[in-house]
Chains A and B, each alone.
Chain A
């Protein structure tokens, strides 16, 4: 008997050893696909496409960090090399573009195989197939747009990695080439006419690529590439749409918070979706932000901005400030004496102090585009496309619509006395407040600063980052932001090792 037990024990130990080799013996993660025999049914296409969204969800923690920390309106209380501008190629997750290339690979797979599947699966309707393609183009364009804004130059990979026959080694393409590809993808998607205006399930209308999200993305890309007429045109496709399914600017201030809770509201265009209740999908946005023991909080200057804005409406009438986008570390009425400001968009359930249910509501969506964003993009493009007072007054009207909803006094500037920089400052300020915590700030500062040959580098990039970011030495921030290459992330070391055609961003050559 004793002997039997000994042998059983030994067997058990041996069994453990083999299963420990999960690199070899475990099944592939559900969302990965490599098989040659795979592409046979439309369900497979749909599942790969869905994997693209899943990977996009996985990328959200990085999207938050990349979009916010360098801008300094929000900082990590645990410290972070992004906010101190000290990212090195060895900083793994902070400078790994893998989360985005995973999305791209899924999109590439759909684009490369959808038509083949249609021939194999008779139930795969062409209209459905083309519609899937528009989503794949959207996911690919969006991912490359994040890549170009963070690394500037990167390998442009347009075919899926499905077999060993494809070389993993690929040199970088320039920013211009990547931007051109993004625009081509969006144009192809829109040109097919198959992009949906809505889906059967409500969440999908905001959680999957649509005609509206394609236009919003295109407007954003055109602003980045300084093509202002095109940016205006794409903004108008959203703002002037007459379709019953269009996203709309909800003017009722009491509904402002519905953008974030429950989410997928009329004012939204594209948000990365989670569903705790039905699919048990959760994220930690509510705990990483919020007023429990968060990782990310507003910086001192941002807190002052919120206090100023709350002063303008009074604490009882506040919309996007007190209990909107921000809660203080003191009682609401005492907000002026706050010493710390918390991000409220992901943690609250309305314009009040109550937090989300921790049992079944840890699933705030992550906003990527919404109508107010598009309105402010249009305002920015109007200012830059012309110095005509009429164009500028359109811009002011757009800003005022956003302000009116927030119950803030409208701006009534004497346009003749303002120059382009003054006008841009108004848009930038409004974007910072309206879109706070939505992962936009750093890209906004970079876009405003770099346009027109870095004409506004000091005004909108350096001075703003120094004013908001208190986590690093101001002279260091100024010095770093003077270097064009340092505005972008290094290529992670392991990428360089695996892809010998890659050349590191020159700024990071001196780093060890």
Chain B
């Protein structure tokens, strides 16, 4: 029997007309791995091949075990790039430069044409750890469509997704310039900023502004790499000159500094720290306000000092002073200057430390640098790109680890559900990113599922001295129905001031953001940051599998008499 079956199988193999590949074309003979493919078009790409070899990455991109997407500038592009750099040969720029350059042009993984043409930041990082962005020139005088697609707004794409055995090759009309300069490098390279640069160096901030990645030691001896980001408000020599400052010593005496510049209490040190924020804030971030507001407050690196940004009558200001009806402006064309570890904006005044009036503060409880770094690392790992505060096509619940997250301290007790004990929720969007399903502020929430008597503590931004009403905004959802009737007891505190509240009381068991008052009135004697703590006092926090808090933001509204 077996024999006949075998025979008939052979017949089937020989005579069957069912060809599963019937209508497909296979042109196997012209598919090569990436580097070999470039060799077949040597007359167009020989220069880049040379750079690949010099950087010792030629063989790497020929590996069959991995896939790559290569962005390859043609020979004219490389020539133009070298001549702009003032060199004849890639060797003149050194191996490490060549490596950085090439790594910036390679993504590990495949980016097919259709994914590429979605536009915006690509979701897979380059080998150098950066995200390339795709944009479209929609000016009516351009050819348009496939003929007007740019990478990083600097290199026109000539050819899309040429197929190679281990990925895709895109041909570019220009070399991409990798962002290698740090915030300090940006200050250092511009002679217009020499006084500010000297202040940065004298106070020791140059080292911090040169840091891109920090390796943080954790309590168990392990380490975590944290990406650092800064926003620097730089001042040009000309602007200093307008206030009679011609040198570092002039500046030191203007701000009343003694000579121990490296001390955090030193006035010059404070002056420099006051010009720095611990995160990347583009103009768009600095001047987007919550509903009906036109003012925002930002904690600086100077202890207990904030700057304010305002948009009045269509003009963007920093530290607008109502007493004098004037404010500092940003210098046109000198804003959003990118660096590897942040961004620079030039201001049109030397910007001394200033105390703005108390104002409403909206504080997103996930607004911490280490959270951003941690969440974006998760995004990179899962090929989602940067996802911090960016709504996604599906929700992501990202659990914090004590190694990586230092902005919260927490105590975890046993729980019943699958929700992360403490974590970050990236919301989902159904409209291409315009809104999220919860309508959550900044598209994120802090998830707290620490069990009965579990607690979490975090530091608020610097709040100006005064009296405030404090409200908490949190999310509810259908699965939280058991907690909506009667609420869930929590103890909240700001420093030593405590209050017991019932979260979810009065909310609906449907997806959305709800508000409650934590403190009707609380007084801060001085301008400072505060410790905000939540203790879970609901026994169901341990027993009920749906239990968790999803905290969105705190709102501090000043109380004026």
**A binding-site residues for B, Cβ under 8 Å:** 6, 9-10, 13-14, 17-18, 20-24, 81, 84-86, 88, 300, 339, 457-458, 470-476, 478-483, 486, 507, 510-512
CB distance from B44 to the nearest CB of A (A): 15
Residue from the list B7, B117, B118, B136 in contact with A478, Cβ < 8 A: B136
Q: Which residues of A contact B136 (CB under 8 A)?
A: 473, 475-476, 478-479
Q: Which residues of A contact B120 (CB under 8 A)?
A: 473
**B binding-site residues for A, Cβ under 8 Å:** 1, 4, 7-8, 11-12, 15-18, 113-114, 117-120, 135-140, 142-149, 158-163, 430-432
- Contacts A475-B119, A512-B161 given; indicate if A13 touches B11 (C-beta within 8 A): yes
Q: Which residues of B contact A473 (CB under 8 A)?
A: 118-120, 136
- Contacts A512-B159, A512-B160 given; indicate if A10 touches B8 (C-beta within 8 A): yes
Q: Which residues of A contact B146 (CB under 8 A)?
A: 480, 486, 507, 510-511
CB distance from B244 to the nearest CB of A (A): 47
Are the CB atoms of B117 and A86 closer together than 8 Å?
yes
Are the CB atoms of A512 and B11 closer together than 8 Å?
no
- Contacts A458-B140, A511-B160, A512-B163 given; indicate if A480 touches B12 (C-beta within 8 A): no
- Contacts A81-B114, A473-B136, A483-B143 given; indicate if A9 touches B4 (C-beta within 8 A): yes
CB distance from B119 to the nearest CB of A (A): 4
Chain A residue with Cβ nearest B138: A478
Bound form: Cα–Cα A24–B15 in Å: 13
Chain A residue with Cβ nearest B3: A6
Are the CB atoms of A10 and B145 closer together than 8 Å?
no
CB distance from A475 to the nearest CB of B (A): 4
Bound form: Cα–Cα A478–B119 in Å: 13
Chain B residue with Cβ nearest A476: B136
CB distance from B295 to the nearest CB of A (A): 30
Are the CB atoms of B144 and A300 closer together than 8 Å?
no
CB<8 Å pairs between A and B, sample of 19: A6-B4, A14-B11, A17-B16, A21-B17, A86-B117, A300-B431, A472-B118, A473-B119, A474-B138, A475-B119, A475-B136, A475-B138, A476-B117, A479-B136, A479-B149, A480-B145, A482-B138, A482-B142, A486-B146
Are the CB atoms of A486 and B145 closer together than 8 Å?
yes
Given contacts A9-B4, A482-B144, 15 further A-B contacts (CB under 8 A): A10-B4, A10-B7, A17-B11, A20-B16, A22-B17, A473-B119, A482-B140, A482-B142, A483-B143, A483-B147, A507-B146, A507-B147, A510-B146, A510-B147, A510-B159
Residue from the list A17, A482, A510 in contact with B160, Cβ < 8 A: A510
Q: How many Cβ-Cβ contacts under 8 Å join chain A to chain B?
A: 102
Residue from the list B8, B138, B139, B145 in contact with A507, Cβ < 8 A: B145
Are the CB atoms of B142 and A479 closer together than 8 Å?
yes
Bound form: Cα–Cα A481–B140 in Å: 9
Bound form: Cα–Cα A473–B124 in Å: 18
- Contacts A9-B4, A13-B8, A510-B159 given; indicate if A23 touches B17 (C-beta within 8 A): yes
Chain B residue with Cβ nearest A2: B1
Bound form: Cα–Cα A257–B120 in Å: 44
Nearest first, the 8 A-B pairs at minimum CB distance are A482-B144, A478-B138, A483-B144, A473-B119, A480-B145, A21-B17, A13-B8, A479-B136
Are the CB atoms of A17 and B15 closer together than 8 Å?
yes
Chain A residue with Cβ nearest B162: A512
CB distance from B167 to the nearest CB of A (A): 13
Chain B residue with Cβ nearest A508: B146
CB distance from A375 to the nearest CB of B (A): 34
Q: Which residues of A contact B8 (CB under 8 A)?
A: 9-10, 13-14
Are the CB atoms of B118 and A480 closer together than 8 Å?
no
Q: Which residues of B contact A339 (CB under 8 A)?
A: 430
Bound form: Cα–Cα A470–B429 in Å: 13
Chain B residue with Cβ nearest A88: B113
- Contacts A470-B431, A512-B159, A512-B162 given; indicate if A475 touches B135 (C-beta within 8 A): yes
CB distance from A205 to the nearest CB of B (A): 41
Bound form: Cα–Cα A300–B135 in Å: 24
Q: Which residues of B contact A88 (CB under 8 A)?
A: 113
Are the CB atoms of B144 and A486 closer together than 8 Å?
yes
Bound form: Cα–Cα A496–B241 in Å: 70
CB distance from A473 to the nearest CB of B (A): 4
Chain B residue with Cβ nearest A23: B17
Bound form: Cα–Cα A300–B114 in Å: 23
Are the CB atoms of A480 and B144 closer together than 8 Å?
yes
Are the CB atoms of A17 and B1 closer together than 8 Å?
no
CB distance from A481 to the nearest CB of B (A): 7
Bound form: Cα–Cα A511–B146 in Å: 8
Are the CB atoms of A476 and B119 closer together than 8 Å?
yes
Bound form: Cα–Cα A457–B18 in Å: 49
Chain A residue with Cβ nearest B118: A473
Chain B residue with Cβ nearest A480: B145
Q: Which residues of A contact B117 (CB under 8 A)?
A: 84, 86, 476
Q: Which residues of B contact A81 (CB under 8 A)?
A: 114
Q: Which residues of B contact A511 (CB under 8 A)?
A: 113, 146, 160
Q: Which residues of B contact A17 (CB under 8 A)?
A: 11-12, 15-16
CB distance from B430 to the nearest CB of A (A): 8
Are the CB atoms of A479 and B12 closer together than 8 Å?
no
Which of B139, B147, B432 has its CB near the most chain A CB atoms (within 10 A)? Answer: B147
CB distance from A390 to the nearest CB of B (A): 35
Are the CB atoms of A479 and B160 closer together than 8 Å?
no
Are the CB atoms of B11 and A479 closer together than 8 Å?
no
CB distance from A9 to the nearest CB of B (A): 7
Are the CB atoms of A481 and B159 closer together than 8 Å?
no
Bound form: Cα–Cα A18–B17 in Å: 8
Chain B residue with Cβ nearest A458: B140
Q: Which residues of B contact A478 (CB under 8 A)?
A: 136, 138, 144
Bound form: Cα–Cα A472–B138 in Å: 14
Chain A residue with Cβ nearest B149: A479
Bound form: Cα–Cα A481–B139 in Å: 11
Q: Which residues of B contact A480 (CB under 8 A)?
A: 144-146
CB distance from B2 to the nearest CB of A (A): 10
Chain B residue with Cβ nearest A478: B138
Chain A residue with Cβ nearest B114: A86
Are the CB atoms of A85 and B1 closer together than 8 Å?
no
CB distance from A461 to the nearest CB of B (A): 11
CB distance from A411 to the nearest CB of B (A): 31
Q: Which residues of A contact B138 (CB under 8 A)?
A: 474-476, 478-479, 482
Q: Which residues of B contact A474 (CB under 8 A)?
A: 138
Q: Which residues of A contact B432 (CB under 8 A)?
A: 470-471
Which of B11, B144, B145, B149 has its CB near the most chain A CB atoms (within 10 A)? Answer: B145
Bound form: Cα–Cα A478–B114 in Å: 17
Bound form: Cα–Cα A471–B160 in Å: 21
CB distance from A22 to the nearest CB of B (A): 8
Q: Which residues of B contact A512 (CB under 8 A)?
A: 113, 159-163
- Contacts A14-B8, A17-B15, A20-B17 given; indicate if A479 touches B431 (C-beta within 8 A): no
Bound form: Cα–Cα A489–B321 in Å: 59
Bound form: Cα–Cα A473–B136 in Å: 9
Q: Which residues of B contact A475 (CB under 8 A)?
A: 119, 135-138
Q: Which residues of A contact B143 (CB under 8 A)?
A: 482-483
Bound form: Cα–Cα A480–B15 in Å: 49
Which of A85, A471, A480, A481 has its CB near the most chain B CB atoms (within 10 A)? Answer: A480
Are the CB atoms of A483 and B163 closer together than 8 Å?
no
Q: Which residues of A contact B113 (CB under 8 A)?
A: 86, 88, 511-512
CB distance from A16 to the nearest CB of B (A): 8
Residue from the list A22, A300, A479 in contact with B145, Cβ < 8 A: A479
Q: Which residues of B contact A9 (CB under 8 A)?
A: 4, 8
CB distance from B522 to the nearest CB of A (A): 38
Bound form: Cα–Cα A138–B295 in Å: 66
Chain B residue with Cβ nearest A474: B138
Q: Which residues of A contact B160 (CB under 8 A)?
A: 510-512
Q: Which residues of A contact B149 (CB under 8 A)?
A: 479
CB distance from A317 to the nearest CB of B (A): 30
Bound form: Cα–Cα A10–B10 in Å: 12
Bound form: Cα–Cα A471–B477 in Å: 28
Are the CB atoms of B145 and A85 closer together than 8 Å?
yes
Bound form: Cα–Cα A78–B380 in Å: 26
Q: Which residues of A contact B15 (CB under 8 A)?
A: 17-18
